[in-house]
């Protein structure tokens, strides 16, 4: 009825286009249009659901199609915080955050917004305000933020317990082996996150990588088959790991941020198992039992509870 068209990947469908003619007709009549999010319709007229974050994505997609300047998301939190306030009592609500930083935080475990919605807003330059459904306090505005050099070096700390780790031993060091391994997992719809490869010895090396813990039961038999197919000597896996990350646009123009992060974790006797970096984030895989301790240590180290 609302004209939200999607592909046919049921339970995880993506919006392909929105026909806004009916919505615009009703608005022109002075009516308030209420649209059920989280769903779409295929070209064959089958109903689909959009999967995790589908309601936020529906709202941003409608805003883009209607050429709106902004989109307000009412939710059960007051905005985007420097860390999960359930873990870090001194977490501070941000008044604004860049698309890029929010996209990283969302993909790294911050559940206040889903990456798909942020990507869509960034593509169409629509600001999103995240605010509470329960009060009228100002929320957090997700928008294009200029003057990157004047921003905080680190904006927030994110954590994700939905992690599992695989290690494959004595993998032949030759072209195409890693590609075959990760392509097979991708073909089964299993996303790979952090990857490390050990130094070569006797023409072989070890490869470790992480997947979502919820995908572990499905991934185990696939990886077992791959171990035999590529001629590796064995594998191990476990889900007692978690990922802690720092995010900040200011990292691009400042050195030593990763070293400060590693120092903060070392001071708390937290061992780093794996590391992943990009221009504006550093992530570490650690023991799941230490994740909340790590969040608090990093929040304190980078003084995120203080106003700029």
Other Cβ atoms within 10 Å of 91 Cβ, number = 20
* Predicted local confidence at residue 52, as pLDDT: 80
Give Cβ neighbours of residue 82 (< 8 Å, ≥ 6 apart). Answer: 88, 91, 92, 94, 155, 156, 157, 299, 304, 305
Q: Tell me what pLDDT residue 147 has.
A: 62
Distance CA 112, CA 135 (A): 17
CA-based nearest residue to 162, from 108, 202, 214:
214
What are the phi and psi torsion angles at 44 (to 5°)?
-90, 5
- Give the global pTM: 0.87
Whose structure tokens read 């860390």?
83
Question: What is the distance between the alpha carbons of residues 168 and 230, in angstroms, rounded to a whole number?
Answer: 10
CA dist 159 and 281 (Å) reads 12
For the residues of 113-137, what is the DSSP string, one character each? Answer: S-HHHHHHHHHHT-EEEEEESS---
Distances (CA, A) of 24 to 30, 32, 60, 130: 10, 10, 16, 25
Please give the pLDDT value at position 109: 85
pLDDT for position 150: 53
Residue (of 119, 118, 120, 158) closest to 141 by Cα position? 118
Of the candidates 282, 54, 243, 105, which has an alpha carbon nearest to the alpha carbon of residue 162?
243
Structural domains in the chain, sorted by start: 4-145 (3.40.1160.10), 147-308 (3.30.2130.10)
Q: Write the pLDDT tens digit of every residue in 46-88.
A: 999 888 888 999 999 999 999 999 999 999 889 999 999 999 9
| Residue-level pLDDT at 95 | 94
Per-residue confidence of the chain (308 residues) as pLDDT tens digits?
Answer: 688 998 888 888 888 899 999 999 999 999 999 998 899 999 898 999 888 888 999 999 999 999 999 999 999 889 999 999 999 999 999 999 999 999 999 989 888 888 889 999 999 999 999 999 999 999 999 999 876 445 689 999 999 999 999 999 999 999 999 999 999 999 998 999 999 998 878 889 999 999 999 999 999 999 999 999 999 999 999 999 999 999 999 898 888 999 999 999 999 999 999 999 999 999 999 999 999 999 999 999 999 998 75
From the list 143, 162, 149, 74, the residue with the least C-alpha distance to 112 is 74
Structure tokens at 162: 């939905």
Instruction: Give the 3-state secondary structure of residue 54.
Output: helix
End-to-end CA distance of the chain: 47
């Amino acid at each position: 009825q609302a004209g939200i068209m999607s592909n046919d990947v049921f339970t995880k469908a993506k919006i392909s286009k929105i026909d806004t003619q009916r919505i615009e007709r009703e608005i022109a009549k002075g009516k308030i249009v209420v649209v059920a999010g989280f769903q779409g319709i295929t070209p064959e007229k089958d109903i689909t659901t959009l999967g995790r974050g589908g309601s936020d994505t529906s709202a941003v997609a409608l805003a883009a199609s209607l050429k709106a300047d902004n989109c307000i998301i009412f939710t059960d939190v007051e905005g985007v915080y420097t860390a999960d306030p359930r873990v870090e009592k001194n977490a501070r609500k941000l008044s604004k955050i860049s698309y890029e930083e929010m996209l990283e935080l969302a993909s790294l475990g911050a559940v206040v917004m889903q990456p798909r919605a942020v990507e869509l807003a960034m593509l169409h330059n629509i600001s999103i305000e995240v605010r509470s459904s329960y009060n009228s306090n100002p929320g957090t505005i997700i928008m294009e933020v200029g003057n990157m050099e004047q921003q905080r070096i680190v904006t927030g700390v994110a954590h994700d317990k939905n992690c599992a780790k695989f290690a494959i031993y004595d993998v032949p060091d030759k072209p195409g082996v890693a590609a075959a391994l990760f392509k097979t997992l991708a073909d089964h719809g299993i996303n790979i996150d952090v990857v490390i490869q050990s130094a070569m010895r006797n023409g072989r090396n070890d490869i470790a990588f992480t997947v979502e813990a919820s995908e572990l039961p499905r991934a185990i038999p696939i990886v077992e088959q791959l171990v035999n197919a590529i001629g590796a000597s064995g594998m191990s896996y476990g889900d007692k790991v978690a990922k802690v990350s720092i995010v900040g646009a200011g990292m691009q123009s400042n050195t030593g941020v990763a070293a400060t992060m590693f120092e903060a974790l070392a001071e708390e006797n937290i061992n780093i198992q794996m590391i992943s970096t990009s221009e504006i984030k550093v992530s570490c895989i650690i023991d799941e039992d230490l994740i909340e301790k790590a969040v608090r240590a990093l929040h304190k180290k980078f003084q995120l509870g203080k106003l700029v």
